[in-house]
Amino acid sequence: MQSLSFHTKHNRWLAIVLIAVAVGGLLVAFWFSASETLDRNQTSMSRACKNAQLAINSLFPASESPQQQVANPELMHQALSDSIKGTNGVNGGFWHTAQGFMGFSSPSESGSNADINVNNNGAPMVRSAVQRSLEQQQEVVSVQSNDQIVTVVAACPETNHYNLGIWLKRSVQLVPANFTVIVSGLFVLLAIIGGLLIVRESVFNRNWHSERDRIVSQAEDTSQAVSVTTEIPEIQPLLMLLYQARQQIEAKDRELSQQMNKVIMANQKTLIGRIARSMTALALTELEGIKRKLPKANAEDIKDKVSQLTDLFSSFERVTADVGNSKPILIDTEDFLQDLSDYHETHGNVKDITLTAIADKGLKFHAEPLLMRFVIDYLIRHIMTFAPDNSEIMLQATAEDNFVKIAISDESSGIEEKNKHLLFHADELAPTQYGIGLKVVRDTLNSLGGDISYEKVDKTSRFNVLIPMTKA
């Protein structure tokens, strides 16, 4: 496929020239055709006869009556000669119906007075035309054909003499009709060729733009490889550049993907470390409590505390060992919350806090169970630390849009106004105030695609945990 500019520059102008020549040729052929030539000469002879009639009438006063005899034929002849001398190929004269031919005519080529006779072949045609013009009192044009030569005679009455008419005669060479047809056919063929060139140009442009649109569409579709072959030479270098750019982008994407994987792994390790710190802080808190109570504790209390620490360290070991490697499973929300409430109500519940779990029937979600256990465990332990004795903690799960919402409500006074800016934004291993040190909870939920928020409703403090709900 040629370039668009090259193709348009040459073929369009060639088509325009061909059509222009064809139209001009057809106009010339029509102008010189037999019918047009004859019509043109008839009109010209009729006009020349009127002019001659006016020139001769101007020699006589308008008040004079028509005369029987021509008194001054030379003067009339001079006026006739002067009127037709500008009309090439025209002979003219007078004809008197009573006296016959008057014996002179005027060749217009020379403009001189030359007396000639009308030949035997032309006399009947002249006499007939003059007689008809006198009868009708207007100009008459007669045509007589002989092969390709046509004789045109125009006659008009001379109003200053009785039975006297003016006649003009011209012989016209006509172009053969078959020659006109052949020439016209050639020019029509030339016009058709020009039209075909324009059609071909239009088809080429359409195909060119279709090819360009195909290449653009292919270039925009990053899922397909860039084709470096095209029928449009002008776009070939751009395709090569696009191919190279696409290769560089794919290489950068691979490099970025590798870096993202490293970042994800680093975040997971950081999250594991923060979880470990948080759980260590919980363990240390328990150990300090045992240490304070040790002098007064009996064997059963010590055994119970050691059992709690053992469970805590076991869960810590599971979380740190399996986080990031465990696969999401389908978790039944009601069973999950009930197990958590039962465990915390029976383990380390020194304030005699009641935990109640409520969930919609059949509500399930996909998540990593160890991370979810850590989040809810940590929140419950945090709330139980600051909640008043003999109070209640409510765990309620509902479906909200495409999330499972777990609302954990308690009867504490909630977070202090001065500490609200630290909520979910501060890491503290051993928080001393409600709502501080929960950043690790939010980050863990974010890693699961969820989030957490806090609200105070009347005398109730509430944490709202959102987990994406994936339908099985």
Mean pLDDT, 10 residues at a time, the chain of 472 residues: 60 85 90 87 89 86 73 82 82 80 50 47 81 89 84 89 87 85 90 87 79 73 66 67 76 80 60 60 58 63 63 56 65 91 83 91 87 87 89 93 92 87 74 84 88 90 89 44
Task: Please report the pLDDT score of residue 308 as a whole number.
Answer: 60
Does 394 share its domain with 445?
yes
Per DSSP, the residues of 33-99 read: SHHHHHHHHHHHHHHHHHHHHHHHHTTS-TTSPPBSS-S-HHHHHHHHHHHHTTSTTEEEEEEETTT
End-to-end alpha-carbon separation of the chain, Å?
56
The string of pLDDT tens digits covering residues 155-205 is 999 888 888 888 898 888 888 888 888 988 999 999 999 888 888 888 877
Does 315 share its domain with 366?
no
Query: 180 lies in a domain?
Result: no
Does 334 share its domain with 314?
no
Does 311 share its domain with 384?
no
Query: 95 lies in a domain?
Result: yes
Does 347 share its domain with 383?
yes
Query: 217 lies in a domain?
Result: no
Q: Which whole-number Å values give the CA distances from 450 to 156, 194, 273, 376, 447, in the listed order? A: 114, 72, 20, 13, 7
Nearest to 372 by CA among 341, 338, 398, 337: 337
The CATH number of the domain where 362 resides is what? 3.30.565.10
Task: Please report the pLDDT score of residue 109 as a whole number.
Answer: 45
d(CA 274, CA 272): 5
Task: Please report the pLDDT score of residue 1 as a whole number.
Answer: 47
Task: Please report the pLDDT score of residue 313 as a whole number.
Answer: 59
The string of pLDDT tens digits covering residues 370-388 is 788 888 988 998 898 889 9
| Domain count within the chain | 3
Query: 430 lies in a domain?
Result: yes
Does 242 share its domain with 272?
yes
Task: Please report the pLDDT score of residue 98 as a whole number.
Answer: 74
Does 347 share its domain with 302?
no
Does 98 share its domain with 50?
yes
Domain boundary among 174, 190, 207: 174
Report helix, strand or coil for 165: strand
Domain that holds residue 137: 34-174
Task: Please report the pLDDT score of residue 450 as a whole number.
Answer: 92
